[in-house]
Every structure is written in C-alpha cells, then in structure tokens.
Amino acid sequence: MADPKIEALFRPKSVAVIGASGKPGKIGYAIMKNLVDYGYEGKIYAVNVKGGEIEISGRKFPVYKSILDVPDEVDMAVIVVPAKFVPQVVEECGQKGVKVLPIISSGFGELGEEGKKVEQQLVETAHKYGMRILGPNIFGVVYTPEKLNATFGPTDVLPGPLALISQSGALGIALMGWTILEKVGLSAVVSVGNKSDIDDADLLEYFKEDENTRAILIYMEGVKDGRRFMEVAKDVSMVKPIVVIKAGRSERGAKAAASHTGSLAGSDKVFDAAFKQSGVIRAYTIGEAFDYARTLSNLPEPEGENLVILTNGGGIGVMATDAAEEAGLHLYDNLEDLKVFANHMPPFGSYKNPVDLTGMAGAESYEGAIRDALANPNMHSIAVLYCQTAVLDPRDLADIVIREYNESGRKKPLVVAIVGGIEAKEAIDRLNEEGIPAYPEPERAIKALAALYRWSRWKKKQKKE
C-alpha cells in the first residue's frame, strides 16, 4: 500500500514555498511562478524570513516569516533555503503538521559523510512528526492531473500517462523539456535526488495505484535498498510496465554516480539480472527509454505473436524485418490471410509480409490496408511504415492512421515510422499527440514494439509459474 503522506506529494490541498522570492532568477521565484502559471488550484503560501509581499504573474502574495505564521493547514512545504537553515525549517514544519517536504536545497549526503549525518537527522526529525521527505538535492515535483508544477524546470509539461522519476536534477529538468519537444505526455515528474527518505520503491507503490499513470520511467544511478526495490518493482510490473535507465554501468561511471548523488551504484551484472527477474525493461540510452515508454504507456498488450508490417518502400520494409528478427518478433506468414492486401496495391506489389504497397501507394492504399490489418483477428500487431513521396503527404497519412485506429477501438498495438522531411516530423508529432507511437526510423518503431512484447511475455510467464 502506498503511504498516504506520499499522496500529499501529488494531491496537496495547499503548498508553502519556504524561501519564496519575488526576484526572477531565484529558485524560490521560479517555483512560485510555476505553481501559479501551471494553474495549481490549491492554496499557495510564500514563506521567507524577510517577510513583506511579493508579486508573481500578476498575483500578490503576503510573505510569512515562518511556516508557523501561516494561518491555515499546509499539506506540502517546498524547502528552498540554504542547507544550514534546513534542520530548523524541518522542525517548524513538523510543529505545523505539514505532511510532506520536497527539499530542493543541496549540500547534504552528496558532499560526504558529514552531509549524510545531517541528512539522517532531517529524516529522523521528519519521522518524529509523521512527515516524509523528498530529496534533498532535487528540482521538485509535477503532477499534471492536479495542475501541480512545484519545480524550477519548464512550465508547460504536457499531460499524459507516463510518470518520470529522475535521480539527476539537471538531467530531469532537461528531460522535462525534451518531453515537451517530443510530445511525450506525463502524469508526473519526480526528482528524487539523494533519496534520504522517499525512494523509487515508495513512488512505484504510489503509481501502481494511480489511475492517471500507465507506465513508469526511472533514471537511476543506484538504490539504497536493492531487495525492496526489486520486490516492489516485480509487484508493480504485473500491473504497469517500468522502464529504467540505469547509469553507472562502467566502473568509472559508478564512481561518478557515487559522488553525484551519494548513491552506491553496485555491480551492473547484478542490476541486469535483477531487472530481468522483476519484469523491468532496461534502456541503455535516453532516446531508447522514451521510445519504449511511448509504446508501454499508450498501447494495449498484444493478444498474440503475429506482427504485420505495411510499407511503401522495400528498403525500410527489409530494415524493419531485420529489426523484428533481432528483437524476437514473429512476422505473420499465412499467405491466405495476407492475400487481402493485394486489393490495396498494383499487380507488382507484394503481399508477403513485410507487405509492400509500393511507392505508388496513396491515401486509399494505406487506408484499406490498415483497416484490413486492424480487422483481422490473426494479425495481432501492426507496424505502418512510410517513406515520404510526392504521392501522399505524411500528415494525411497521420490523419488516416488516427481515424482508422480510433474507429477500430485501439484493441491492438500499432506503431508508425515515417522517414522524410519537415512534413514527416509534423506527421510524427501529430500521431504522438494522439497517443499513437510514431518514430522517424523503422528500427526504433520495431524495437519499441518489442519492448511491449517483452513486458507482456514476462507477465504471462509469471502467471503460469
């Protein structure tokens, strides 16, 4: 069961920013501004020993000198004061009855033993009052269903079904920006930093129950309690897929991770084996992680192994076939069933899988072929590939795919790859905004589909055992 105090991290009725500022360029200003501009509807309180009043995006806020001066209850207090003042602030938050504390401030466990001791004391103080701590050394937390953006990262995060957990602050902020550019919709972004208290396992338990999250992506450098993480991950993987980018794979990388967030990276082989056992899908690059996250957070599980590839170019069809073979995907080869595609191609086309609709394929060819593939119960997953030609504008193809997929009830996994210029990029964005995973290269589409198959097969195996 998820801790109800962690619920307050995502659905707080009120938020205080301790170290709030009216000066642009200050972190205490950026967090206040994001709370206001992203549309958070709960109460926002500014706290700073200087007192006075600040104005953020046209709204005026009285500044309380201490959290204890705030007249109402406070669910969450975001702490942005220098490290030396944090212990006192945590004590006051406890007296106030705050539930959860995201501590942005750095200068703790990542600096070495002395900092770790202070960090431990913060956790002891928090637990004495029944509070939980997120961090320290973080950039904040986002939960899009509640319009909560308590970070100093980008403001305009796109809502969607993927939760992102990052141990690195700068990388986490950059990834937020990247998801906006790449049209990846997020339910949550959580910066965990030093993981002094709330860790990945706690968050996984929360997201398992969260109806707004369908998949979870974690950037991880190390774990404090490996056994608990694996037990929770295995339990959560039975319901929702987890993708992990595990950094610190090399010996030097592991040392760098230790100095970065004070975490033990451990042997990579151990992590690898543990991930496989717990159904965690491992990604080796950021691009790969998001490619997988697209299919895992948007598509239904396949009902069988038969993949059909529809293409207008022999070349990309062959490349996709190679990628499918390497990834352990099965290309459907029943020619009686595949013959239906002959209706949508010239006589010199090939309805053998990969189905080559030829370079002459226009809107009608694709429309008919996609509709037939979606309707056939023996075709369990579909990859639609397109090389940009003058015959069909990629954006029109995107509209066809969206319409046909929605009308079919989205019961099968379907991925798209469009190779081409600016129009191709626009088409890919349009598809991704609609929750249909689309990529600029055929291999990426196939590998992302394979990640969905890997997770689905793992689950089936667990149920048998």
One DSSP character per residue, 443-457 reads HHHHHHHHHHHHHHH
Work out whether strand 140-143 and strand 414-419 pair parallel, antiparallel, or are unpaired: unpaired
Residue 212 amino acid letter: N
CB neighbourhood size of 406 (10 A): 12
pTM of the model: 0.95
Which residue, 295, 318, 345, sits at the end of a domain?
Answer: 295
Rounded to an integer, what distance in angstroms lies between the CA atom of residue 17 and that of residue 31?
Answer: 8
Are residues 337 and 289 part of one domain? no
* Token reading at 447: 């590998």
Domain that holds residue 445: 300-463
**The pLDDT of residue 14:** 98
Rounded to an integer, what distance in angstroms lies between the CA atom of residue 327 and that of residue 362?
Answer: 30
Are residues 275 and 148 part of one domain? yes
* Token reading at 336: 């009686």
Are residues 184 and 62 part of one domain? yes
**The pLDDT of residue 247:** 80
Rounded to an integer, what distance in angstroms lies between the CA atom of residue 175 and that of residue 349?
Answer: 42
Are residues 161 and 25 part of one domain? yes
Are residues 291 and 308 part of one domain? no
Are residues 286 and 170 part of one domain? yes
Are residues 238 and 370 part of one domain? no
Contact by Cβ (8 Å): 417, 316: yes
Are residues 325 and 230 part of one domain? no
Are residues 375 and 243 part of one domain? no
Q: Pick the closest to residue 155 from 241, 37, 238 (CA basis).
A: 37
**Number of domains, the chain:** 2
Which residue, 250, 265, 295, sits at the end of a domain?
Answer: 295
Are residues 401 and 336 part of one domain? yes
**The pLDDT of residue 257:** 66
**Is it true that the peptide bond before 354 is cis, omega within 30 degrees of 0?**
yes
DSSP 8-state class, residue 350 = B
Residue by residue, pLDDT tens for the chain (465 residues) are 778 899 999 999 999 999 999 999 999 999 999 999 999 999 999 999 999 999 999 999 999 999 999 999 999 999 999 999 999 999 999 999 999 999 999 888 888 888 889 999 999 999 999 999 999 999 999 999 999 999 999 999 999 999 999 999 889 999 999 999 999 999 999 999 999 999 999 999 999 999 999 999 999 988 888 899 999 999 999 999 999 998 877 777 767 766 655 555 457 788 888 899 999 999 999 999 999 999 999 999 999 999 999 999 989 999 999 999 999 999 999 999 999 999 999 999 999 999 999 999 999 999 999 999 999 999 999 999 999 999 999 999 999 999 999 999 999 999 999 999 999 999 999 999 999 999 999 999 999 999 999 999 999 999 988
Are residues 330 and 245 part of one domain? no
**The pLDDT of residue 3:** 84
Rounded to an integer, what distance in angstroms lies between the CA atom of residue 125 and that of residue 11?
Answer: 23
**The pLDDT of residue 133:** 98
Q: Give the H or E element holding residue 243.
A: strand 242-246
Rounded to an integer, what distance in angstroms lies between the CA atom of residue 430 and that of residue 437?
Answer: 10
Ramachandran assignment for 144, one of left (phi > 0), alpha (psi -120 to 50 degrees), beta (any other): alpha
Which residue, 267, 295, 323, sits at the end of a domain?
Answer: 295
Residues 6+ apart with CB under 8 A from 310: 341, 354, 355, 357, 366, 369, 370, 373, 382, 383, 384, 385
- CA torsion 154→76→101→20, rounded to 10°? 60
Q: Which CATH number do you get for residue 67?
A: 3.40.50.261
Tokens 């009608």: give the residue.
Answer: 364
Are residues 284 and 223 part of one domain? yes
Size (the chain), residues = 465
